[in-house]
Amino acid sequence: MSEIMVFGSNLRGIHGGGAARVAYEHHGAEMGVGEGRTGLSYALPTKADFSRTLSVEEIAEHAAKFIEYARANPRDTFQLTQVGCGLAGLTKEQIAPLFRDIPGNVNAPLAWHEIIFGEVIPARVSFNF
């Protein structure tokens, strides 16, 4: 059983910034691998290269592949980052609906919960006494 970071990548697998760089530096993402699992990470393409963001329809195809992979690997837990909403420049309203069918072993970003599940997760409040 492993905990896998799911990050937005480009098809060339150049993990130079954002969550992709974190995945490369800390979770075993491999340069040159733009889609799929390497180490404790899963690359989900949201960009063709540094300059061109994929269409929402293209990202939907890659999201569907990821969801199939997560279903086929129920012993692993997947931490889904806000793929497409950083360097790719898309909004959560465009991307989150692509993940409505995620299985129970995928943890969606809290910012997407209302869109995916129809519920708002309240912020945690801590007090220092």
Per-domain boundaries in the chain? 3-117
**Cα distance from N-terminal residue to C-terminal residue, the chain:** 38
Which amino acid belongs to residue 107?
N
Query: Which CATH code is given to the segment(s) 3-117?
Result: 3.40.220.10
Q: 24-83: per-residue pLDDT in tens?
A: 999 999 999 999 999 999 999 999 987 899 999 999 999 999 999 999 999 999 999 999
Cβ pair 10, 48 in contact under 8 A: yes
pLDDT at 119: 73
Of 57, 45, 60, residue with least CA distance to 98: 60
